[in-house]
Amino acid sequence: EPEVTQTPSHQVTQMGQEVILRCVPISNHLYFYWYRQILGQKVEFLVSFYNNEISEKSEIFDDQFSVERPDGSNFTLKIRSTKLEDSAMYFCASRANGSRSGNTIYFGEGSWLTVV
Amino acid sequence: AQTVTQSQPEMSVQEAETVTLSCTYDTSESNYYLFWYKQPPSRQMILVIRQEAYKQQNATENRFSVNFQKAAKSFSLKISDSQLGDTAMYFCAFSNSGYALNFGKGTSLLVTP
């Protein structure tokens, strides 16, 4: 069964450093997402991406964050200057186009980011 | 803005028993989707079941079924014949057609022998 893959699974970085989290969405999917889950809290939406541009973003997704689809397969989340409060599990997700999928969003296994 | 409320932070059930997790939501939209995701200790988000709002029939996936009450804006998950592997955090989520998921705070389910 096709799946969303994320790398790295765990990264430790120093405060102020740049971090890039990588994702390979399911191959025929057209909508891509990043979500965040701070330990013990609910999953929060960050950004959605469609047709090579951001289609929706939350208030969490400020100027420190950016997303990119540099080639036909990868989808990346960059945090320019990490803060302690950026420590969280970051989930990449993707969705096919059309109603047949039932609007189902499929998640990767997550990238656990620890900022020290 | 849509809100999703899960009023049970923690629940416990014995193996082989049935348990129901509650979820309510608030929206003014008529066309939307509802989901239950499972997050085991590995923290992966796994889709359990989904429901399209325009369908009156409740969705079922093996031991998992939902009770969708559109007028009451309620979407509960029933797990039958609970297994130890069902121990996880369960998140209810809402999505307007084409938009991102909005999650509830989750219910931690513990299945005991």
Retrieve residue A79's tokens.
């945090």
What is the C-alpha separation between A95 and A73, in angstroms, rounded?
Answer: 14
Quick: pLDDT tens for B5-54.
999 999 999 999 999 999 999 988 888 999 999 999 888 889 999 998 98
With CA atoms as reference, report the closest residue to B38 among B62, B74, B56, B54: B62
With CA atoms as reference, report the closest residue to B87 among B8, B15, B35, B6: B15
State the nearest Cα–Cα gap between A86 and chain B, in angstroms: 17
Quick: pLDDT tens for B58-113.
999 999 999 999 999 999 999 999 999 999 999 999 988 667 889 999 999 999 99
Q: A3 CB near a chain B CB, below 8 Å?
A: no
Say if the Cβ atoms of B98 and A103 lie within 8 Å.
yes
Closest chain B residue by Cα to residue A3: B46
